[in-house]
């Protein structure tokens, strides 16, 4: 099988309080399973985030991210007399994360909640 991807990611500091991140990724996979069935798919995924420095010690952040995962080689070679579904494609996920960070005198603490 063959799996490859390419991505770009950038971080931009707007001012002393705001910073932004954004990125995009393209993934492509092609695999032939144990029953000689070829599975292939590709797609784009994106992410974007913002961070706001409330005080010198406290910051909050929010991130939205997408992900794409094609079948792995181990999925294609399970010992079975059946074959994979002919329309087996990539799995996708959409994720949202909210976070808070605290940093003072070499001490760091972070907490986050996410929805996937």
DSSP string, 12-34: EE-SSSEEEEEEEEEEEEEEE-T
**Nearest Cα residue to 1 out of 99, 75, 101, 102:** 75
What φ, ψ does residue 73 adopt, rounded to 5°? -55, -40
pLDDT tens by residue, 20-74: 999 999 999 887 777 777 778 889 999 999 999 999 999 999 999 999 887 666 6
DSSP state of 77: T
Whole-model pTM: value is 0.77
Contact 95, 66 (CB under 8 A): yes
pLDDT above 70 coverage of the chain, percent:
84
Q: How many helices (H) and strands (E) does the chain have?
A: 1, 6
């Amino acid at each position: 099988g063959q799996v490859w991807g390419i991505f770009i990611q950038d971080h931009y500091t707007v001012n002393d309080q705001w910073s932004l991140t954004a990125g995009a990724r393209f993934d492509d996979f092609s695999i032939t399973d144990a029953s000689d069935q070829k599975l292939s798919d590709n797609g784009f995924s994106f992410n974007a985030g913002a961070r706001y420095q409330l005080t010198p010690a406290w910051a909050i952040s929010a991130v939205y991210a997408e992900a794409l995962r094609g079948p792995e080689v181990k999925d294609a070679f399970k010992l079975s007399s059946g074959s994979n579904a002919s329309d087996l494609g990539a799995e996708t996920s959409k994720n949202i994360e909210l976070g808070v960070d605290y940093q003072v005198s070499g001490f760091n603490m972070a907490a986050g909640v996410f929805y996937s």
